[in-house]
Structure 1
Amino acid sequence: MQLSSLVARLPYPSRTVQRALAIAAIITQGGIGVTGSVVRVTGSGLGCPTWPQCFEGSMFPVEHPEYETLTQWIEFGNRLLTGVVGIVAALCVLAAWRIKIDHPGRARLVKLAWTMPGGVVAQAVIGGMTVLTGLLWWTVAIHFLASTVLVWLATLLLFAFGEGDERPRWRVPEGGRTLLVALVAAMGAVLVAGTTVTGAGPHGGDPDTPRFDAPIETLTLIHGGLLVVYLIVLAMLGLQWMRTGATARLWRRYAVVWAVALAQGTLGSVQYRLGVPEELVSFHVLGSAAVIVATAALWCAARDRGPVVSEAPAAVPENAATAR
């Protein structure tokens, strides 16, 4: 109760602040995945061979004959960025909590906000497991997939700041809802398949890391085939909306999904044909975050939760103001 009183003393976050914090959450949650890919492609995954310390007895990189200084700092820098992600996540919680104090009906907003620091803690544990197991490919895959979930939740949080908390009313017919669910499921399958390609690929985070023992050509075909499924579902969704109608806002979100997904698919094909160069790997990870954000935005635009009631503090009753 005392903590809630302290939060109540904070300035009420403006609409601009609310939006800025949610966008920062999307950027940091997606960005930590990109920097993680930099750690992987530079072979710096075991630059800090222990966790939570970098070396036994030191939280920071130290001169060591077996580890290059640069790889140590690349890995350590990625760990430091977790602190930035955590600060943004904490600010999202404080903003949502402050809003709920004035608008008690905004419980859903607070729950979504809490997934941000919760995800940071989970990622720290998963990251420690990844290091302590010597970067086994499936632990790296879990680490990446956790980031994709957090990018999705951060996007939902952005929209939650600007909408109400009524039961969602879908702006698309029943069949459209089914196709949207199928679209999200297909996206998830593409992401999971992508981690198997990464697991069998040349960039394991450390030269001695064992790779996923499966033909990368087959895994790449599966990954690409699932992207085709995603695009087919997306096309079916558009054809249905041409028959039943859709709002201009939905069509704009829909066009963005197509643009981002096609760009990501093209990048993946180029990356594979060029032998998976390091630079393109990180751009591909960034592209995956963009696809998630675009798909989540389309999902949110397809339903209505009523008008937002928390853009400003709750009005103080006139008699209460007089009593003060």
Structure 2
Amino acid sequence: MPLETLKARIDALPTPSTRVQRAVAIAVVVTQALIAVTGSVVRVTGSGLGCSTWPQCQPGSLVPVSHPEFAALNQWIEFGNRLLTGVVGIVAFAAFALAYLARPRRARYLRLALAMPVGVVVQAVLGGLTVRFDLLWWTVAVHFLVSAVMVWLAVMLVDAVDPEPAATERVRVPSALPGLLTGSVVVLVGLLVAGTMVTGAGPHAGDPETPRLAIPVETLAHVHAAFLFVYLGMLLAAGVLLRVGGSDRALWRRYGALVAVVVAQGALGFVQFWTGVPELLVSLHVLGAMAVVAATSALWCATRDRAAVAAPAQPVPA
């Protein structure tokens, strides 16, 4: 079939409903976060090299097989994570297809939707390189950080499903808030990077033979905690701006959700440190990290991506 004919037939398909587009976009957020969590399960169970090669599981076999050096459970845990990547890819492609069919076609929405399947391909390649490099800590760190970026973009995709509101409908925000949030995002990046370094020096390498980052875990944990305290301080400052600026309830809800997940994530991190980094808490901490990224992105979207109207600072009523 000629490409022109195929394109014409695709363009003739009906426009999907906004509800369907939003549901699939939310599914992208969930699956992108879930693949990071299952990756942590692979790591804490020592299954990172359960499949010794990539894209095959074992040489000559795409699926797990009986092997004297690799336990069946470890193989299936790693293979299950690879299968989930396929699910993530299907959902990501569905989001792009819906964005392409949406009318009128919007460039920003389409770019964000296209980033989803492209990101899955990039992550699949990074996962293969992680295996090829025998789970070196920095390859695992890059793999995780790209997942964080994908979750951020997926939340932006959800926000982009709806067309831009009219100027009279845009959320009013204090004029200083976007700049403060930009700084907080920089601190969040440092927080995530420090967290990957703590993991790189910690006990859960994904395989007993994998070399660890040669820096004391305690030192890295204190650096990680310092970033957390700075981030919390900036969130408190953002709350003051919201209070003074008289922002609406929608913005307050996003801010409240962000503060809640950051506090919960920080508490979980301290419990991890005090209890010797148990496996279950590691995976919960990864889930919390994805929640913090998603909540930060949601607040960012409310103040930036929807072209929010700057509200002048107002004095607090006596």
> What is the letter of the counterpart of residue 69 of structure 1?
A
1:9, distance to aligned residue in structure 2 (A): 4.0
Aligned residue in 1 for 2:28: 25
The 10-residue stretch of structure 1 (233-242 or 188-197) with the greater mean CA deviation from structure 2: 233-242
Task: Report the secondary structure of 2:205's partner residue.
Answer: coil
Corresponding residue pairs, total: 303
Partner of 1:316: none
Alpha-carbon separation, structure 1, partners of 2:9 and 2:185: 40
How many angstroms does 1:172 deviate by?
A: 2.6
- Deviation sequence 1:127-184 (CA, Å, 0-9, x none): 11100000000000000000000000000000000232999x8833442111010111
* Partner residue, 2:91: 88
For 1:46, the equivalent position in structure 2 comes to 49
Superposition deviation, residue 12 in structure 1: 2.2
Change (3 A) 1:284 1:17: same
Q: Tell me the equivalent position of 1:217.
A: 218
Distance 2:120 2:244 in 1: 43
- Judge conservation of contact 1:92–1:113 (CA < 8 Å) in 2: yes
Distance in 2 of aligned mates of 1:2 and 1:291? 45
1:130 aligns to what?
130
Work out whether residues 171 and 302 of structure 2, in 8 Å CA contact, stay in contact via their aligned partners in 1.
no
Secondary structure (helix, strand or coil) at the match of 1:172 reads strand
- What CA distance in whole angstroms lies between the structure 1 residues aligned with 2:146 and 2:194? 14
Indicate conservation of the 8 Å contact 1:166/1:306, yes or no.
Answer: no
Q: How does 1:139-288 map to 2 (within 5 A)?
A: 139-164=139-164, 171-288=172-289
Q: Specify whether residues 96 and 273 from structure 1 end up closer, same or farther in structure 2 by C-alpha distance, changes over 3 A only.
A: same
State how far apart, in whole Å, the 2-side matches of 1:17 and 1:260 are: 27
Letter in 2 for 1:95: L
Query: Is the alpha carbon distance of 1:287 and 1:17 closer, same or farther for their aligned partners in structure 2, counting shifts above 3 Å?
Result: same
Is 2:10 aligned against 1:10? Answer: no
SS, match of residue 54 in structure 2: coil
Partner SS, residue 176 of structure 2? helix
- Aligned-pair identity (%): 56
Other-structure match for 1:68: 71
1:115 maps to amino acid: A
SS in 1 for 2:173: coil
Q: Give TM-score, length-normalised by structure 1.
A: 0.90
Query: Are the counterparts in 1 of residues 145 and 192 from structure 2 also a CA contact under 8 Å?
Result: yes
Matched residue of 1:16: which SS?
Answer: helix
5+ residue gaps, structure 1, are 308-324
AA at the equivalent of 2:58? F
Q: Which amino acid letter does the alignment assign opposite residue 110 of structure 2?
A: V
Tell me, in whole angstroms, the C-alpha distance in 2 between the residues paired with 1:166 and 1:210: 55
C-alpha distance in structure 1 between counterparts of 2:237 and 2:110, whole Å: 35
Per-residue displacement from partner, 1:65-84 (whole Å, max 9, x unpaired)? 00000000000000010100
- Stretch of structure 1 that moved more, 128-137 or 294-303: 294-303
- How far apart in 2 are the matches of 1:219 and 1:37? 19
> Kindly tell me: are residues 304 and 124 of structure 1, through their superposed partners in 2, closer, same or farther at Cα, counting changes over 3 Å?
closer
SS at match of 2:60: coil
C-alpha contact 1:61 1:76 (8 A) present in aligned 2: yes
Aligned-CA RMSD value:
1.8
Length-normalised TM-score, structure 2: 0.91
Is the contact made by 1:166 and 1:305 (CA closer than 8 Å) also made in structure 2? Answer: no
Q: What SS class does the counterpart of residue 289 from structure 2 fall into?
A: helix
Task: Answer whether contact 1:47 1:68 (CA < 8 A) is retained.
Answer: yes
- The CA distance in 2 between the partners of 1:9 and 1:70, in whole Å, is 48
Structure 2 distance, partners of 1:130, 1:304, is: 34
Q: Counterparts of 1:245 and 1:262 in 2: how far apart (Å)? A: 24
